[in-house]
């Protein structure tokens, strides 16, 4: 268990490994979420909560995986700072917050002092 679910009263977030479109990734999901389709395109919950974070959510921003320590921080403090990379390899930092539908969301408008 990595922390309490931010979107329901009694759920806790645990990590599992999934293969999505042929690639293995971690998914951090609420104990109240029970998924019957898990192909990354369609991820419907038949449980009382549908909260999950894909470990590869930030891959398109140059961060290949979100680790368990980052998830713990996110659940405890509501955010964490991720080091991302632009297409031309420039590193930048952004605050990551929880988002019920997408798992996480990047606060692009917020500047982080490095
Ligand atoms: Zn939940």
Print the SS3 string covering 36-67. Answer: CCCCCCCCCECCCCCCEEECCCCHHHCCCCCC
Over residues 41-76, the pLDDT tens digits come to 456 677 889 899 999 999 999 999 999 999 999 999
5 falls in which pLDDT band (50, 70, 90)? very high
> Which pLDDT value is given to residue 41?
47
- Tell me the CA–centroid distance for residue 98 and ligand 1, in Å: 12
Q: Does residue 114 sit within a domain?
A: no
Distance separating alpha carbons of residues 27 and 19, to the nearest angstrom: 10
Integer Cα distance of 70 and 8 in angstroms: 20
Q: For residue 102, is it within any domain?
A: yes
User: Is residue 113 one of the residues assigned to a domain?
Assistant: no
Report CA(67)–ligand 1 centroid distance (Å).
19
Cα–Cα distance, 104 to 58 (Å, whole number): 9
Q: Is residue 43 part of a domain?
A: yes
Q: Is residue 96 part of a domain?
A: yes
Number of structural domains (the chain) is 1
**Integer Cα distance of 99 and 96 in angstroms:** 9
The answer to the question of residue 35 being in a domain is: yes
* pLDDT higher than 70, residue 36: no
pTM for this entry: 0.87
CA of 114 to the centre of ligand 1 (A): 33
Predicted local distance difference test score (pLDDT) of residue 35: 72
Structural domain that includes position 38: 3-107
Average pLDDT on 85-93 reads: 93
With a cut of 90, say whether residue 18 has pLDDT above it. no
Any domain includes 10? yes
pLDDT score recorded for residue 105? 97
């Amino acid at each position: 268990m990595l922390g309490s679910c931010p979107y329901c009263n009694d759920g806790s977030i645990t990590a599992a490994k999934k293969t999505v479109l042929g690639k293995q990734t971690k998914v951090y999901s609420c104990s109240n979420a029970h998924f019957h389709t898990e192909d990354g395109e369609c991820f419907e919950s038949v449980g009382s909560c549908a909260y999950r974070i894909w470990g590869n959510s930030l891959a398109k921003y140059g961060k290949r995986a979100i680790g368990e320590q980052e998830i713990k921080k996110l659940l405890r403090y509501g955010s964490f700072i991720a080091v991302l990379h632009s297409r031309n390899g420039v590193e930048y930092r952004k605050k990551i917050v929880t988002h019920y539908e997408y798992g996480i969301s990047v606060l692009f408008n917020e500047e982080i002092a490095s």
